[in-house]
């Protein structure tokens, strides 16, 4: 009996995940695309790479979460000063993307 309940819960979780990935993610992408122009996105990506490089050089020995927090603060300040307003999740994605680009360039 317990196995059946577990299987039902597992399948329900998989179904919810599928629904989110099929319907919610594309709607969010479209929403973000409409609220941020391609020039603003390109500027944000450029500033994210600058932020990551600057933080890496100044805080190279600090823990990764601390460096990410500082990079996000710097990026948010610069973008807000330039009239580009992004969510915390968008800033996080830009920083993580810039880190991956930096690591790919180093290897």
pLDDT tens digits, residue range 42-69?
888 899 999 999 988 888 788 888 999 9
Q: Which range, of 7-11, 18-22, 76-80, 91-95, averages the lowest pLDDT?
A: 18-22
Per-residue pLDDT, 28: 63
**Residue found by looking up tokens 């690591």 in the block:** 103
Structural contact between residues 51 and 95, judged by C-beta atoms closer than 8 angstroms: yes
Residues 6+ apart with CB under 8 A from 105: none
More confident residue, 35 or 14: 14
pLDDT at residue 88 is higher than 70: yes
Mean pLDDT of the 2-28 span: 78
d(CA 3, CA 23) in angstroms, rounded, equals 30
Cα 107 to chain centroid, rounded:
22
């Amino acid at each position: 009996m317990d196995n059946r309940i577990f299987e039902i819960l597992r399948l329900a979780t998989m179904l919810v995940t599928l629904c989110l990935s099929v319907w919610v993610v594309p709607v969010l992408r479209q929403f973000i695309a409409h609220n941020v122009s391609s020039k603003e996105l390109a500027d944000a990506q450029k500033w994210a790479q600058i932020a990551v490089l600057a933080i890496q050089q100044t805080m190279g020995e600090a823990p990764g979460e601390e460096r990410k927090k500082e990079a996000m603060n710097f990026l948010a300040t610069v973008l807000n000063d330039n009239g580009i307003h992004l969510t915390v999740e968008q800033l996080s994605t830009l920083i993580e993307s810039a880190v991956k680009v930096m690591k790919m360039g180093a290897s």
